[in-house]
């Protein structure tokens, strides 16, 4: 893959969204919450939820999301895709 490379001191990847609501699509489960910590192996979520039914992804609340105990940690190696959370 070719990329345009611009040197910058700004954070990238997970570090760039620390403190923001994110959604993590993993092999089987979908997690959402505020990304409150990042290290080499784990991501830490506060206000975490396990999403069983997303509903329409572009808008609205999750159709079925159950609260988890906080903080919740997810292994980085299991995250297939991620992005900003819709709610």
Question: Which DSSP category does 59 fall into?
Answer: S
For the chain, the straight-line distance linking the first and the last C-alpha, in angstroms and rounded, comes to: 32
- How far are the Cα atoms of 2, 6, 9, 28, 56 from residue 45, in angstroms, in the given order? 33, 30, 25, 18, 23
**29 vs 4: which has the higher pLDDT:** 29
pLDDT digits (tens, 9 = 90+) for 29-59: 999 999 999 999 999 999 999 999 998 887 7
Would the CA dihedral through 13, 66, 74, 37 be positive or negative?
A: positive
Domains and CATH numbers, the chain: 13-84 (2.30.30.100)
Q: In this predicted model, which residue has the larger pLDDT, 27 or 2?
A: 27
pLDDT of residue 9: 59
Beta strand extents in 1-87 (DSSP E only): 21-26, 30-38, 42-53, 64-67, 72-75, 79-84
Q: Supply the pTM of this predicted model.
A: 0.83
More confident residue, 14 or 26: 26
């Amino acid at each position: 893959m070719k990329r345009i490379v611009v040197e910058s001191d700004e954070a990238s990847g997970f570090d760039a969204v620390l403190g923001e609501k994110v959604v993590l699509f993993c092999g089987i489960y979908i997690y959402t919450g505020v990304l409150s910590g990042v290290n080499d192996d784990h991501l830490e979520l506060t206000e975490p939820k396990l999403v069983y039914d997303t509903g329409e992804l572009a808008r609205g609340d999750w159709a079925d999301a159950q609260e988890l105990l906080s903080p919740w940690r997810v292994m980085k190696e299991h995250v297939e895709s991620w992005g900003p959370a819709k709610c």
